[in-house]
Chains A and B, each alone.
Chain A
Amino acid sequence: MPKTKAKVTDDSSPELMIVAKGLTKTYGDFVAVDGINFEVKKGEAFGLLGPNGAGKSTTMKMIASTSQRSGGELTILGKDPNQHGPEIRAHLGVVPQQDNLDRELKVWENLMTYGRFFGLKSAWLKTKIDELLEFAQLEDKRNVKTEELSGGMKRRLTIARGLVNEPEILMLDEPTTGLDPQARHILWDRLFRLKEVGVTLVITTHYMDEAEQLCDRLVVMDKGKIMAEGSPAELIKTYSSKEVLEVRFGSDNNKTMAKQLKGIGDRLEILPDRILVYTEDGEAALKKILAAGMHPITSLVRRSSLEDVFLRLTGRTLVD
C-alpha cells in the first residue's frame, strides 16, 4: 500500500500503527464489522466504545491478527495481518476479555511460559517477571497457582502477561471489568505511563469513565459501524450540551411530565426511570422547572459524559 507508506515516512505526521479502510467481518449472513475506517498513531490511547455486540471484540481480533478480515484493508505495524500474522503478533500484547490463564501453573510460571512463546530467554524472563509482578501488585502471589487467585488478581496477571514482550501495541479488551475502584485507578495510571515509553494502547470498554480517563481518541461503535470519532472532550462538545439535568417524577409520570418540560433546555431524553435535560446551565433549567410548578422527586445536575454522546448517537444507553 504505497499511500500509507508515504504517510509513515512523512516526517510531519507521526507513525501510523494501525490503518483500517473499509474493514469488514462477516459470519455467514451476519455482518459483525461493517466497513469501518480508522487510524491509530504511535503512542496514542485509542478506544473502541460501544455496547455488547457492537463489533468491538471482532475488530480487536482482526487487529490482533488472529481473525482474518472478510473485506477491506488492514495494516498493522506496516504489515498486512493476512500475510504476516506471526510477525505482527510477535510485537503485540493482547489482553483478552476473558482471563485465559493456565490454572495449574503458578503465577510466575504463567509469565515464564508466555514469555517463552516469544522466544525470550529464561534468564532474561526471570528479571522481567519481577517487574511484571510489581506492575500487577502480585509480588506475594508469585508461587500461587492461578486458580487460587481472586478475579481482580487474575485480571491484573493477564494484563501483566500481555506486557511480557514489551509490545508496541497493547490491546486491552474490557481491561478493568471485575476490578475494584482502587485497583482500576492504579491500573489506569500504570497504563497511562506505558504511553510515555511509546506503547500504543487500543482499548475496548463500555465504561464511560474508563474511556474518558484513558483514551486520547475514540470511536463510538454500534451494530458494526462507527457512529462518531474524536477525543472524549470533542465528542461531548459535538454531540451533547455542557451540562445535564436529570429529573425523576416516578416511572409512571416521566412520559407525561416530559410534555410539560418542552422548551426547557436544548433537548430532552426520556428514559424509563428518568428524564435528561440537555442544557448549558443545569441549575437554571431546574429553577425554571420548579418555577413552572413541577416537583421532581429527585434532581441532579452533572457534566455531560460519553454516555450522553452514545445515547444521542444510538438512542440507547450503553449498559443495557
Chain B
Amino acid sequence: MSTIHKNWQGAAKLIDPTTPMRWGAFYVAEFRIRGMLKWAAAIVAFGLGNPVMYLLSIGVGIGAMVNNSQGSHGIDGVPYLTFLAPALLATAAIQGAMDEVTFPTIEGFVWTKMFYSINNTAISSKQIVDGVMLSAMARCVLQVMLYELILVAFGALPLASLPILTLASLLAGWGFAAVMLSVTVFIKDDDGFFAIVGRFILTPMFMFSGTYFPLAALPIWLQWIGWVSPVWHATDLGRALSYGHKVEPWLLVVHVVYLAAIGVVGMATAYPQFKKRLAE
C-alpha cells in the first residue's frame, strides 16, 4: 500500500474552508508571482534597461536639442529631462501593471485554462480577479521603483517626491490594469488581440499623452486623446508632484478621480464577467 493511502486523513479533517475563503486572493497572487519569478531576470533587466535607454536617447539626446533651442529651463520652466521623467514613470507603471493582467488572463482562460482549475478549489472567481490584480500591483511597484532608481540617479526626479510619486504611479497602474482586465476577460482565443490593442489604442495613448512634449503643443483636435488617456492624467499628476508643474487644483482632483474611476469601473466589470466565464 502506497504512503498516500496510509497517511490519508481526509479533507473533512484536513481542510478548513474558512482559511482559503479568507486568504484566497493572496494564494492566487502567490501562484502568479511564482510564475513571474521564472521571468525575474527579464523583468529586472527590462525594468532597469528601459529607463536607461529612454533617458539616454530621448532624455539626453533630444533633451540637448530642446535645451539648445528653448534654453536649459525652456520646457515648463525645467530642464527637458525633469519634464520627461514623470511621464516615463507613469508610462512604466501602466505598462508593467497591464502586462501582468492581460497575458495571465488569456493564459488562465484560454492557453492553460488554469483559472478553471483554481476555481475548482475553494477559491472564488472574485478572489482570482483580486489575486491577479495583487500580483500585477507587485510587479508595478517593482517596475516603478526600478525606474525611480534610474531617474534619481540621472538627477531627473527630486528624492523627496518619490513616496507620493510611487503612490500616484500605483493608482495609474491599478486604474488602467483594471480596465484591461475587464476587456481581456471577453477574449475567446484571439492572439491577434494584443497586436490590435497595441497598435490602435496603446501606441496613440502613449504618443498623444504629453509624454515627450506638453499636450497643449498639439492641435486641439488631437488633445482629446490625452484627456481620455490615463497616461496623460498620470503624467500631468506626476509632473505636479515631481517638480511642481502648475496645475489648477480642480484639474489635480480630476486626475486622481479619473484614474480611480476607471479602476472602479474596470473592477466592477471584471468581477461578474470572470464569474460568468468560469461557470461556462
Cα of A89 to Cα of B21 in the assembled complex, Å:
11
Rounded to whole angstroms, the CA-CA distance of A167 and B7 in the bound complex is: 13
**Selected contact of A102 from candidates B19, B114, B120, CB within 8 Å:** B114
Chain B 153-164 against A: per-residue CB contact (8 Å), 1 yes, 0 no? 000000000000
On chain B, the residues within 8 Å of A109 by CB distance are: 34
Alpha-carbon distance between A90 and B119 when the two chains are bound, in angstroms: 10
The stretch of B10-18, B56-64, B74-82, B212-220 that contacts the partner chain: B10-18
Contact of B1 among A117, A119, A193 (CB under 8 A): A193
Q: How far is the CB of B38 from chain A (nearest CB, A)?
A: 5
User: How far, in angstroms, from A1 to B35 measured CA to CA in the complex?
Assistant: 44
CB nearest neighbor in B for A98: B113
Q: Across the interface, which residues of A come within 8 angstroms of B2, CB to CB?
A: 131, 134-135, 190, 193
- Chain B's interface size range is 35 or more
A168 vs chain B, min Cβ distance (A): 5
* Given A119-B19, A197-B5, A101:B112 Cβ within 8 A: yes
Decide if A254 is an interface residue (CB 8 Å cutoff): no
Is B124's CB within 8 Å of the partner chain A?
Answer: yes
Q: Is the CB of A86 within 8 A of B122?
A: yes
Rounded to whole Å, the gap between the CB of B18 and the closest CB of chain A is: 8
Known: A86-B124, A117-B121, A119-B20. A91 touches B12 (CB 8 A): yes
B15 with A120: CB separation less than 8 A: yes
Chain A residue at smallest Cβ distance from B123 = A117
**Contact of B35 with A165 in the complex, beta carbons under 8 Å:** no
Check A116/B27 contact, CB under 8 A, given A90-B121, A102-B35, A196-B5: yes
Please name all residues of chain B whose beta carbon is closer than 8 Å to the beta carbon of A132 when the two chains form the complex. 4
Q: How many A-B residue pairs have CB under 8 A?
A: 137
In the complex, B260 has a CB within 8 A of chain A:
no
- Taken together as a complex, chains A and B put the C-alpha atoms of A86 and B19 apart, in Å, by 11
Q: Does B24 contact A (CB under 8 A)?
A: yes
Smallest Cβ distance from A205 to chain B, in angstroms?
A: 19
In the assembly, what is the distance between CA of A114 and CA of B11, in Å?
Answer: 14
Tell me the nearest residue of chain B to A65, going by C-beta: B120
Residue from B9, B16, B31, B119 within 8 A of A116 (CB atoms): B31
Interface centre among B4, B19, B112 (most CB of A within 10 A): B4
Contact B122 A102 (CB under 8 A): no
Interface residues of B: mostly helix, strand, loop or mixed?
helix
CA distance A59 to B86 in the complex (A): 54
Residue of B8, B16, B113 touching A119 (CB-CB under 8 A): B16
> Is A134 a contact of B3 with CB atoms below 8 Å?
yes
Cβ–Cβ contact A117 & B38, under 8 A = no
Contact present for A165 and B14 (CB under 8 Å) = yes
Q: Which of B11, B19, B38, B280 contacts A168 (CB 8 A)?
A: B11
Contacts of A101 in B (CB 8 A): 112, 114, 117
Within 8 A of B (CB), among A187-243: 190, 193-194, 196-199
> Does any Cβ of B come within 8 Å of A94's Cβ?
yes
Could you tell me if B34 and A113 are in contact, using CB atoms closer than 8 angstroms? yes
A119–chain B nearest beta-carbon distance, Å: 3
A286 at the interface (CB under 8 A from B): no
Known A-B contacts A87-B122, A118-B122; A197 and B117 likewise in contact (beta carbons under 8 Å): no
Known pairs A119-B23, A119-B27, A131-B4 / 5 extra A-B pairs, C-beta < 8 Å: A86-B123, A101-B117, A134-B3, A165-B15, A193-B5
Q: Which 8 pairs of residues, A with B, have the shortest CB-CB distance?
A: A119-B19, A90-B17, A90-B122, A100-B113, A117-B121, A91-B11, A94-B120, A131-B4
> Which A residues have a C-beta under 8 Å from some C-beta of B?
61, 64, 66-68, 85-87, 89-92, 94, 96, 98, 100-105, 109, 113-114, 116-120, 130-132, 134-135, 161, 163, 165-168, 190, 193-194, 196-199
Q: Show 29 residue pairs from A and B whose CB-CB distance is below 8 angstroms, ordered by the A residue.
A: A66-B116, A66-B120, A87-B122, A90-B11, A90-B16, A90-B122, A91-B12, A92-B11, A105-B34, A105-B35, A109-B34, A117-B20, A117-B28, A117-B122, A118-B20, A118-B121, A119-B15, A119-B16, A131-B7, A132-B4, A134-B2, A134-B3, A134-B4, A165-B14, A166-B8, A166-B11, A167-B11, A193-B2, A194-B5
